Each structure stands twice: as C-alpha cells, then as structure tokens.
Amino acid sequence: MSTSAGAADDVVAVANAWLAQDPDPETQAQLRVLVGHAQGGDAAALADLHSRFDERLAFGTAGLRGEIGAGSNRMNRVLVSQAAAGLAAYLLAESAGGASVVIGYDGRKNSQVFATDTAEIMAGAGVRAILLPRLLPTPVLAFAVRHLDVSAGVMVTASHNPAGDNGYKVYLGDENQGSQIVAPADRAIAAEIERVAAGRLVPELPRGAYETAEEDVVEAYVRATAQVGTPGTPVTAVYTAMHGVGWDTTRRVLEAAGFDLPVTVDAQIAPNAAFPTVAFPNPEEPGALDLAFETAREVQAQLVIANDPDADRLAIAIPDPSSADGYRRLTGNEVGCLLGWRAALRAARAEHSESAPRGTLACSIVSTPALAQVAEAYGLDFAETLTGFKWVSRAGGLIYGFEEALGYLVNPHTVRDKDGISAAVAFLALAGELAAAGSSVAEQLDRFSERFGHHTSAQISLRVTDLSQIGRLMARLRDAPPEAVGGIRVARIDDLRDGFAGLPPSDVLRLHLEDGSRVMVRPSGTEPKLKVYLDTSSDVGTVAERRAAAEATLAVLDAGMRDLLA
C-alpha cells in the first residue's frame, strides 16, 4: 500500500467512526458525500477530510469557535456534546455542594440545537441545567450566571464572526463572579473534554431533564441595566441589531430608563442567521453600517448605535460632513475614552459621600494608553490587562473597563463581561447630557484632546489561510527585532510570552518607540489573523495641530509595520 493510499484510508476510517456517533442528519449527509468522493480518488474531497479531522477545534479561554460542519475541527453536535460532557465533569469535580449551569443562545444557525444538547447532557451528568427561555443577547446570559447564582454559564454564539460560524463561551460563577474562563480552568476543562472524546461515544452520553428559566431573568436584567443612565435632552438616534438578537432587549431597557426609542434599521432589526445585508456581521468591517448611515441621513440623526449580532459589542457613529457617508464611526478607543471620562466624572461626584469607593478604570494592553491618563487625573486606580474581557472584568475595584474591539463594561456590579446594551444606554445618556449643555459628541472628543492630548490609533489585520504563517511572522519579529518602525527608532521591546510586569504569559510583542508611540503585535484569539495595534499622541498646539501631528505619525507607523511584515 502506498503512503498516500494509507493516509486516505486512515482519514476515511476516522470520518466513518465520527459518522457513527453524529446525531445530525445534515452533517451526516455532508460527511458521507465527502467520504464517497475521497474513496473514489477525489483529491479535493480527501484534502477536505484532512482539514476536518487532522486537528481538533481547540477549547481555550475563548471557549470554542469555528465553522459549522462535520468533523473534529468544525462546530457540530458531536463536538458540542463532548464539550458539554467535559464541562460537566469539571464542574462536578470542582463543586462540593452540587454543580449548576445556565445556558443561553443567540440567533445563529444551530445555536438553539447546541444549547439544548448542552442542557440535556449536563443534566444527564448530574448538573442542574437551566436553559434561558428564548434566544437572547450574550449580556443577559452573563448577567444570569450571577443572578441565578450558578456554578457556570454557557453562551452559544460566534459573536461577530461570519455567518457560517458558531461558538461556545463559558463563564464561571462563585469566586469568578460570572467572568469568562481563564487559565488554569480552560486547560482543566479542555482535558476533561479530551477524555470524553477519547473514551465515550456521543450516543452513550446520558441525557436528562433540564429547567427552562422564567422570563423574570430577562426582566431583572432590564431593570438593572436601565439604571445605567437617565435621559437628558433627547437626541435623534438610529439603531441596528446587525441581524442579531439585540433589539428586543435594548428596546425594553431604553423604555424602562425613559429614553425615546431610536429609529431602527428595519432590514437588519430581526435575527437572521444568514446576515443577508452584510458581507461580515461586524460593525467594524467596511460597509457593515451602510444601511444605518442611509437611515441616519434620512432622519438627520445625531447618533448611530450598532450592536453586533449577540449584542455584547457597541459601535457608535456621529455626523461628519467631510465623510462621503455623512457619518463617521468612532473607534473603540474613542468611545472607550469618552465613556471612561464619564465614569471618572461620576466617581468624582460620588466621592462627596464618605462611603464612596475609589474604584479602578481598566482596559486591555492593546487599547489606548489615554485611559490611564484619565484615571490619574481623577485620582482613580488604573489596571492594564491582557486582551479580552475575561481579564478586564477581573480587575480589582473595577468601576469601568473597555477594550478597543468595541467592548465596554459600564456596570460591573451587574455584568462581568462586555455589554453592548448597557454601553448604548450610557452613551445615549452622555449624548443627552451634552445636548442639554448645547454641545455634541464631536465637541466632547475635542475637549478630551485638549485635556489629555490627542490620542489616535489604527489597526492592521493580516488574515491568513495557513495558521502557521502567524507563528512564522511572530518568530521573525522575535529573532530579528526591528530597530525602527517607519524611521522612528524603537526604544525597547516587551515580550509578554513569558509574562511581563504581573501580566500572565501571552503571545504579544509591545514595541515602545522613542517618540512615545507604541506598536503591539499579537495573533487574534478568535480569528485567523495577525493583529497589529498602533497608538500615538500629541499634546502640542491646538486641537487641530495635535490631531494633524498624531495622524501624520500614525501614517508613518502604518507604512513601517506593513513593510516589516511583508
């Protein structure tokens, strides 16, 4: 037998073994066709089988996320069932008084199916399993972990990934206070999942009866989130749910808080797993907000509000006459700084009470350094964390946290994860306060630049088809560290691979340049990308002069990093 024939036989045997335990008729049919073609000598089908079975979709601090399809390297009912059984084993081993879990799901393909499988299998393992009553935003699930006082939470969502993806986020209760998992819990759960996959067939996993949560869980979230802000002078706003699950809950929160409802982008307001009006359901992507801008122009909106499909992220756009669309989407750093400044001002006002805590402002290491200046100016503590809200939410004394990827936590006493709904309420309240003073969001951004310097940022995302390319690029930067970026000398490089300044180990390089600029390079945790973050600032001259100087430096850094990575 030739090596190639042996390899074909091996992967076909693995695929057939997978077929024998797959409960999903769709992925069964998909796999049978591939196996038949591969056995007939179809090289493309054989390569597809290897893509699906040579590796296993890794469970980590982002849980699971990937393309829906048959195989161990795809999201499907076999993989989810194994994950549920492994998580159940972990929770039962960690819990002395009985384990419990609450499970939520969004409107993506198979989300409800994956959530129901999880509930049944965890119940069959002896874990008290509670399924949320219907498809709901991720922040409601994060809230429910604490509200129901359970051991863990599972949210079935792929957030802002392409339409063909789905995923599986895991939260822990008790001392973790409803934050997403971090090491070493992720490794321990992954080990339990591997044991299940190696020793049990999915049809053999016992299934049990689960509970369905009452609507009062959602009502409790609505009441708590409505406390985030109060209406000022009404502003005309446009809202899009990006074909996700955000609108119903957002509407209820805004009504409870007394805000006028925004004008909706009707073509994107209802959940639709196909995301038919956007190429990529991420408010950061070019073109994603085109329909929102069209609606905003029609009603002369002062604000555009967008949630991603599971509503844990928030995008904001404001009028901009210089833009072809008439509107400009603010960066995550701009929104994060404005909400952080608002949080600092509120904390300063609260200090008139003797019992008021000092509090901490926190952001991830790839977010703008400007938040640290806000914290210093108001006598607040500042925490810099690794990327991801699993870290931001764990900052001690947290009163506000954000990350530049459109994630904001304005009410950590309620939710320990980014929450695009509460952040929308806070931003609407800010816009109303500014309108009441005869001002605007654009003018507030200028005031921020006057007070703290003009900070500007940009990002380079290199999407790859071969994940090993990311490792090679990171290795190249480590083996031959750049002496300059775009002609600006590098003062020092922090390699976070072995931990740095109290931060856990992470595959991140941080370049400090002589002019005070900063460049961060890291692999994406959820997508096949190498991400580069550029930050620079200027505090010399007028706001216009500061902006021009910072943007000129940013252009130099962008070109320099593209050359280095070419």
- Which tens digits make up the pLDDT trace of 529-550? 899 999 999 999 999 999 999 9
Residue 189 and residue 75 share a domain: yes
Q: Which of 433, 451, 469 is the last residue of a domain?
A: 451
Answer for the pair 419, 410: CB distance below 8 angstroms, yes or no: yes
pLDDT in tens, 483-519: 999 999 999 999 999 888 888 899 999 999 999 999 9
Q: Are strands 398-403 and 360-364 parallel, antiparallel or unpaired?
A: parallel
Biggest CA–CA distance in the chain, Å, is: 82
Is the domain of 172 the same as that of 226?
Answer: no
37 and 155 in a single domain? The answer is no
Strand-pair category, 381-385 with 360-364: parallel
- Domain final position from 37, 54, 71: 54
Instruction: For residue 481, give both structure tokens.
Output: 């560290």
172 neighbors 381 (Cβ within 8 angstroms) = no
Q: Answer yes or no: do 290 and 434 share one domain.
A: yes
At residue 2, does pLDDT exceed 60? no
Q: pLDDT band at residue 8, thresholds of 50, 70 and 90?
A: low
Of 194, 188, 163, 167, which Cα lies nearest the Cα of 104? 167
| 198 pLDDT above the threshold of 60 | yes
Q: Tell me 523's DSSP state.
A: E
Phi/psi at 166 (5° precision)? -150, 175
The residue behind tokens 């609260």 is 350
* 101 and 178 housed in the same domain: yes
Identify whether residues 394 and 253 lie together within a single domain. yes
- What mean pLDDT do residues 237-257 have? 98
Report pLDDT for 349: 84
- Is the same domain home to 234 and 357? yes
Dist CA 224 CA 232 (whole Å)? 19
24-33, 109-118, 356-365: which range is least confident on average? 356-365
β-pairing, 509-513 vs 488-495, is: antiparallel
Which residues carry out catalysis?
Answer: 159
Q: Are residues 209 and 92 in the same domain?
A: yes
Q: Do 442 and 502 share a structural domain? A: no
Residues 352 and 472 in one domain: no
* Mean of the per-residue pLDDT values of the chain: 94
Q: What range does the domain containing 490 cover?
A: 453-565
Secondary structure (3-state) at 182? coil
Q: What burial class does residue 123 get, using C-beta atoms within 10 Å of its C-beta: 0-12 exposed, 13-18 middle, 19+ buried?
A: buried
Please tell me the distance from the alpha carbon of residue 73 to that of residue 69, in angstroms, as a whole number: 9
pLDDT at 1 over 50: no
Classified as helix, coil or strand, 294 is helix
pLDDT of 4 above 70? no
The predicted model scores a pTM of 0.94
The pLDDT of residue 354: 53
Domain stop point among 213, 240, 273 = 213
What is the SS3 assignment for 41? coil
Task: With both helix axes pointing from N to C terminus, report the angle between 185-199 and 77-94 in degrees, rounded to the nearest 10.
Answer: 120
**Residues with Cβ within 8 Å of residue 165, at least 6 apart in sequence:** 65, 66, 67, 68, 75, 108, 158
Instruction: Report the number of distinct structural domains present in the chain.
Output: 4
Q: What is the mean pLDDT of residues 346-371?
A: 82
Is 80 buried (19+), middle (13-18) or exposed (0-12) by CB count in 10 A? buried
C-beta of residue 22 within 8 angstroms of C-beta of residue 16: no
**Residue 509, beta-bridge partner list:** 495, 521
Shared domain check, 269 and 407: yes
- Spatial CA neighbour of 341 closest among 393, 400, 389: 400
**Are 224 and 295 within one domain?**
yes
Residue type, 151: S
Tell me the sheet residues that pair with 152: 101, 172
CATH number at residue 105: 3.40.120.10
State how far the Cα of 367 lies from the Cα of 306, in Å rounded to an integer: 20
pLDDT tens, position by position, 400-438: 999 999 999 999 999 999 999 999 999 999 999 999 999
Q: Are strands 518-523 and 529-538 parallel, antiparallel or unpaired?
A: antiparallel
With vertex at residue 447, the alpha carbon angle to CA 328 and CA 319, rounded to the nearest 5 degrees, is 20
CATH of the domain at 526: 3.30.310.50
